[in-house]
Structure 1
Amino acid sequence: MLTRRNLLQAGAALGVGTVMKPTSSAQALKIQMSSGEVMKTKGLVDIDEKLPTNPASSAKRYRPTSRMGLGGLAAGNGFNTISSDEEILTMLNAAWDSGIRYFDTAPFYGLSLSERRFGDLLRNKDREDYVLSSKVGRILTPSAEPLPKRWHWANHSPFHYSYDYTAAGTRRSVEDSLQRIGVSSLDIVFIHDLSPQNSDFGADWLKYYDEAVNGAMPELTKMREEGIIKAWGFGINSPHAIYKAVEVADPDICLLALQYSILEHEEALDKTFPLLDERDISVVVGAPLNGGYLAGRNRFNYSSLIPDPMKQKFAAIQDVATKHGIDIKTAALQFAEAPATVSAIIPGARTSQQVHENVAAMKVKIPDAFWDELKSKKLIAQNAPTKA
């Protein structure tokens, strides 16, 4: 059994484990990291603690073994930040060496760039040793013209995209992803960005939804029955498609981005999760750090516009975290992973240091009193699950 001293020594070995001094709310609001900085993990880190996993097969539907995964948006030069192939491969190797065995990517991330870079790691691994998910809904075609500036891919691959939620388009998209990544199979396929929040769709999103009802949804069910994939669902930034689709289709798992974080979680807890629980559908939490905001970035949910209420809530939670010797990022990652509905969280990373800090955050013992204080101050919902 590790003592407090050994825990601190273990944390020091990782470059983490320092106990913070209390700061004021005003100081907490000033926490903002540049693109090259990383928020350090604070608290007692047990380096012998394993990353959380799902039980072997208590659920009827497929769930990834690992509850701690890696999101692939940054590997596609997301947020217009350029990383080299070598930098991303170093990060991916750090994730693998840290015990991460669930990897999520998409054709849209850098217009194939993320999938290709993930393949640089995964094609050299035993296919049974990891879980891999990608997405369908966009078909890529060669084009040397850059995308409009409204999309946040720096130096993306020379492709454009068109939407295709038909059965044929879905099967082609899966086959294209396998070739780009260089692997024999996907475990999970998410129908991507089928949402009114998709700026390409707006009010027309139901037209694409209807196409998916008759195309992508039954085709993915067929591919699951054929054994080509193990599970399918939706990868979306709002729950609209899920609310409709559970009545007409049979998804297994859904990637909910921007919908369950320590800052925003009430709708998911009160409406989305209960609906999914009735059908044994699990959730992969995307963007558990609100697009980097909870790791100190000047960016909230993929935007530089940060709502004042979120700034105030960030500062208040950071104050409580500091009081209890931890940091807000650690609290946010463990909060997102806690619900039974959740089968995995997939924070993104661009550097190996970000990976190490995120992994360390999952190995910090957070005091019960921290969660109690957040609830007493109404900073998180009273029914929000937390782990002792």
Structure 2
Amino acid sequence: MPTAHATRFPGCTDGLRLGLGGAPLGNLFRAVPDAEAQAVLATALADGCRSFDTAPHYGNGLSEQRFGQTLRGLPRTRFVLSSKAGRVLRPDARAARAQNGYVDVLPFTQHWDYSAAGTRRSVEDSLQRLGMARLDVAYVHDCDAATHGDAYPLVLAQVLGETLPTLRALQREGLVGAVGLGVNDVQVCLDVLAGADLDCLLLAGRYSLIDHSALPALLPQCVARGVRIALGGVFNSGILATGVGGGTEPRFDYGRAPQAWVDRTAAVERVCAAHGVPLRAAALQFPLAHPAVDIVVAGAQDVAQWQDSVAMLAQPIPAAFWQALRTQGLLPDTAPTP
């Protein structure tokens, strides 16, 4: 069975540890013209990006269509492509054009389905939208308690009993490379790892400059078991991109940021100002120091956002900055720093 080490998130042969996340190009919060979406993808490729992540959830398949339009004309060994299972799309002429935070979506409705048949259909439908014969990584999407509430124990049992075994079968058939979870919750990762092996995780928001909840238990286990991690949400849905003092309402986990996160970010910003470090640079570079983490995945709605992430990833940051964060209790002693 392939391991995550065999299908690492390579970023690029020249070492760029930045992947492109597909939610913004599925029209998350605002419509992105198709020409702009293709420009983002083309610019990312030109900058050395080789890891691309999408999902049926992102615009009801719109993101997958856009990714496929650019990527399927390239040599298949030039990029690593991931998508997700857990939601099945059904055509519906009366479907709302705005769903789940996405606007101008394709005419489908989403239905949770972690069954064996639903998992196979999800992967095969994704491949059709992408125009591809295989996924390098298939993630089980949003199978956590916060998403499913009281149904979580049943969802967990189905993920362990049907979803993951089906993805392993698809792996043996050559339709899927690595198998993992795509979630923004630590506990579901621990729960699944207690009952199954995973190759990798796409973990959003839970190991960032301000949120270290994955550090005590999950990341050490991933190192020990060889589970490689791609980190999404390193800006925690906006607060670490915009900061808290610029007049824009800070967002955390897709909503208005609670005051505790505002206060913590403000404290980090003061250290950034004292050392001349852009907040976005610190947010992108910090999690890459952990040995479990291969890449960070950044979403971009336009070329400028992508180029800013590339520049911030290369921004020099003095060691004194990280030490100041640690001294002020803003980083745990056990968190590695660049």
- What is the TM-score normalised by the length of structure 2? 0.92
Matching of residue 109 in structure 1 with residue 58 in structure 2: yes
**Structure 1 residues 239 and 60: CA distance shift in structure 2, 3 A:** same
Shift in Å, 1:60:
4.4
Distance 2:305 2:265 in 1: 20
Map residues 149-188 of structure 1 onto 2, 5 A cutoff: 151-188=100-137
Could you tell me which residue of structure 1 aligns to residue 289 of structure 2?
338
Q: Which structure would you say has the larger Rg?
A: 1
Q: 1:195 touches 1:205 (CA, 8 Å); kept in 2?
A: yes
Q: Gaps spanning 5+ residues in structure 2: where?
A: 12-16, 243-247
Per-residue displacement from partner, 1:237-263 (whole Å, max 9, x unpaired)? Answer: 112322122232221001111211101
Poorly superposed stretches of 4+, deviation over 6 Å: none
Residues 109-162 of structure 1 show CA distances to partners (whole Å, capped at 9, x for unaligned) of 010011011112111211110000000011101013345967201111100011
Provide closer, same or farther for how the CA distance between residues 278 and 106 of structure 1 changes in structure 2, counting only shifts above 3 A: same
SS of equivalent residue, structure 2 residue 111: strand
Give the 3 Å change call, closer, same or farther, for CA 88–384 of structure 1 in structure 2: same
In proportion to residue count, which structure has more strand?
2
SS in 1 for 2:216: helix
Match of 2:193 among 246, 270, 277: 246
Cα drift, residue 166 of structure 1: 1.6
Q: How many residues align?
A: 327
| Cα-to-partner distance string for 1:253-293 (whole Å, 9 max, x where unaligned) | 0111121110111x211011122222111111111110122
* In the alignment, structure 1 residue 77 sits paired with structure 2 residue 23: no
Matched, 1:226 2:176: no
Contact 1:221 1:250 (8 Å CA) reproduced = no
Say if 2:3 and 2:178, in contact at 8 Å, map to a contact too: no
Task: Provide closer, same or farther for how the CA distance between residues 156 and 338 of structure 1 changes in structure 2, counting only shifts above 3 A.
Answer: same
2:239 matches 1:293: yes
Map of 1:62 onto structure 2: 7
- Give the Å deviation of 1:303: 3.2
Provide the C-alpha distance between the structure 2 equivalents of 1:147 and 1:204, rounded to a whole number of angstroms.
Answer: 26
Larger CA deviation: 252-261 vs 271-280: 271-280
Distance across 2 between alignment mates of 1:248 and 1:315: 40
Work out whether 1:277 is the aligned partner of 2:227.
Answer: no
Range moving further from structure 2, 186-195 or 57-66: 57-66
Which structure exhibits the higher relative contact order, with contacts defined as CA atoms closer than 8 Å and separated by 6 or more residues? 1
Amino acid at match of 2:32: S
Aligned residues of 2:139 and 2:181 also touching (Cα < 8 A) = yes
**Superposition CA RMSD, Å:** 1.9
Shift of 1:364: 1.4
Could you tell me which of 88, 94, 100 is aligned with 2:37? 88
Say which is worse superposed, 239-248 or 65-74, in terms of deviation. 239-248
Compute the TM-score of the two structures, normalised by the length of structure 1: 0.80
